[in-house]
Structure 1
């Protein structure tokens, strides 16, 4: 049974739709009704329906504006338009917003029932395709080319010549077009887990990820070692426009259709195919954060302020320690280091090899700390660890104890600075909202762009820090300011609405009444009446 929210400002029509359609027969359950686009957006965010059936022309927010907003927060939701003949062409402009059907008014119950069954069939097909186990032949051919490019560090050439060879091969295989210029590339690493936290990612699940990717950008995906690795290709503008929507679409679709949770690591954009291995390593680092946290999606640019240095010669032990320093527990770090030093001791590793390992292990610690902290913190860490000038000890266990203490101190430093960084990001965003709430164009996306983090990450930080969504906080600020102006000044309602970020006075009045329970004029009259009573 799929869920549906119905939005139409004509109350009689909306209620008639709810009453006259046998929703169970057509496979839907009505979970919410809205009389305007603003209410509909709130219901979509709260109820997460499978389908939104909305009128095109509504007060405060049109159906097309609603579709654009829904696409930002719930990209996997399907949308159907109720459209009059006069605005049908206008409505077709919104095809990019997951519009699954256009229904022309007036429409009878019989006609609507027939159309809803068609819509259900389309959603059924989407669910079936999402879990289909076959892979496209084109994708298999591309994967054969890109898998070693992403996973392997070795290459026969470097620089511009190698990049030209890679681009020509990508064009020959149809991955990018000959006229494509200034392409950027991003790597996603994705896994699925069940309710017990077990990894249940299988090779057949590549099709589910590809089904979403193909809606937005050029892509190639392949399965390796319990993970799905995807390479996205597009312009810088297309990455900025679609990337956060893509990861939300994957996460939401996996949850709704497969009843699983997903962990997704996202690299930075890189300007050439020759740097895809670097992007893959960044995506794996981000994936480590996502897997060990409850955020589900991690952009490496949100967590580490600088790109990591070349890891092509870094051993597996170094990678594991870096991962544990970023997001592992103290017990996990202690256990792993104990096993590592025990292995070095048992295998009678030559002194020169141990020295090389120790140099790498120490460099890894500083690299992780420097990625999230400032240079002063790194210097303090160095001063607090005098053993750094002496890599060898008579007793290998003494070496282990000193390095263990060094790692635990570094882990605390990194965690503390990451916490401060997150707090600073949140504080900065809230400060922007406090100072510019009167700007009608102010949004979570505009602020996230200004402070250079993804909207997903900023939204999570704000919710964790305040317990409220960005929209809730912005609305509260605007309404509280409006109330102060109503009660403390003689400004007109229109002037107050404009100073509080609303271009439409009627929309402002609607929001104020919803927030305060009474209209702006009634609120002012009530205050003046009480004030008059006190003065008498």
Structure 2
């Protein structure tokens, strides 16, 4: 309920107005009275009413002067001017002070009631808007950290969402740089430990030096304004010691070259490349680009495109491609005259690439087998070991793909049977609106799994349903009813034509012959 102040120097008028309206009916819970402008002002400052109904000519302060004094400190107060003067100058002055209503005396109780009710409505609208804005602000404040984190994820992965980078930089108060990016990795996928490691990093580096710090997959990635390696290494070593003290686990840290914010994706790629050499250099180290240069020159796997193709082949379950790509990689080693030590090093790197396609629960078991590569005495043995591993993963993916395809077709068939009466039922609708698949892909997959095109299958199911309805009826079912039930609701005559082509007779003949099955023609459209 709201508070109304009535200000008028004529007692009979202000008291008469206060008694003339059932105020509670329109949301007014309290009515205050003032005999002049000064008294009205004092009451406003003390009681803070929501609506003020004021005479324009009063002692001390006029109604207009009262509005001017109040609006700067309490702009939310709704003023209604009550005047005995039909003077444009007064009205203009009221409008300039954002007074929404101007009533001329004499006015009846109904006019006053309507004016106050309008003011109440305006207040409620303002309150709703303020509540909405407050709610939105609260939601934005809650989402801001997640939005900032997502921006960094998009940034390091080179997402198109970060093309308008200047706007994001301003929103998240991020400057151009320079920066360094660090990747902290522990040999443990426990998310609680990763969160603890993230907290250690943020605390040790300090809020003023941390631009972003997030968990990506199984590592903590930091973007920091600290670029001096000596200062960085001190903070990193402190974090590594705390990590070991908490979990008895060594943290390995990859440090990027300096770069600006627009180079975030390149810096992230650099630290991901660097961290792979933990297998050669050992856990618990700080590794930079300089530390791995010797490996890049002597032992690096330099068939990057082929390894990407190998990963793609495993992901898609293409066993033939897995075999041919692995053979190509090892043929390249042979053609370049790599010795056994170099092939072992490359084999370990290739094994790690394949290992990424394991289930999380299998990685520890498989990673123990990495030492077997060093036990191999020939390139053929190393190749066969890796090939067996890669083929096993590809075969599992292939079975998963086949199972997934079967489930898709099962969904299509189930949807057809459940919506057979829908005259708009089509492969386009199922693909686009139900399964969110490419219609051409779904069409080819459907034919591969069922041996017929979708349109043929749909017609067959509809005709078989029509036959069932005719057989089950006692002769009183109408053709239009069968047409409605099988998706031909707009054209029963067309249904009859199609039914005759499919069975060799019209529905009436089919019902009467008693030899329905013998008369089937087996016709389906091409």
Q: Is TM more than 0.5 here?
A: no
Larger relative contact order (Cα-Cα within 8 Å, sequence gap ≥ 6):
1
Q: From the CA coordinates, give the structure whose radius of gyration is larger.
A: 2
* TM-score bracket for this pair, using the shorter chain length: 0.3 to 0.5
TM-score, scaled to structure 1: 0.36
TM-score, scaled to structure 2: 0.36
